[in-house]
Chain A
Amino acid sequence: SQTIHQWPATLVQPVGSPLSLECTVEGTSNPNLYWYRQAAGRGLQLLFYSVGIGQISSEVPQNLSASRPQDRQFILSSKKLLLSDSGFYLCASRVWETNEKLFFGSGTQLSVL
Chain B
Amino acid sequence: SQQGEEDPQALSIQEGENATMNCSYKTSINNLQWYRQNSGRGLVHLILIRSNEREKHSGRLRVTLDTSKKSSSLLITASRAADTASYFCATGGKLTFGTGTRLTIIP
Residue ranges of A at the interface with B (Cβ–Cβ < 8 Å) = 4, 6, 34, 36, 41-44, 46, 49, 59, 88, 90, 92, 94, 100-107, 109
Say yes or no for B107: interface residue by CB 8 A criterion. no
Counting chain A CB atoms within 10 Å of each CB, which of B31, B41, B43 scores highest?
B43
CB pair B95–A42 under 8 Å, yes or no, is no
Partner among B2, B42, B48, B102 whose Cβ is within 8 Å of the Cβ of A100: B48
Q: Which range contains the number of B residues in contact with the other chain?
A: 20 to 34
- Given A44-B88, A49-B94, A107 and B40 touching (CB < 8 A)? yes
Known contacts: A43-B88, A109-B40. The answer to whether A102 contacts B2 by CB under 8 A is: no
- Determine whether the beta carbon of A90 is less than 8 Å from that of B88: no
Nearest residue, chain A, Cβ from B43? A104
A43, B44: Cβ atoms under 8 Å? no
A103 touches which of B41, B45, B94 (Cβ 8 Å): B45
Q: 13 other contacts beyond A46-B94, A92-B95, with CB at 8 A cut-off?
A: A34-B95, A36-B97, A42-B99, A43-B100, A44-B43, A44-B97, A46-B97, A88-B40, A92-B42, A94-B95, A100-B48, A101-B45, A102-B90
Report B28-61 residues with CB < 8 Å from chain A CB.
Answer: 31, 33, 35, 40-45, 48
Number of A-B contacts defined by CB within 8 Å? 52
A101 to B98, CA, bound (A): 16
Partner of B42, one of A41, A42, A43, A104: A104
A4 to B35, CA, bound (A): 16
Contact B41 A43 (CB under 8 A): no
Min CB distance B34 to A, Å, is: 10
List, in ascending order, chain B residues with CB within 8 A of A88's CB.
40
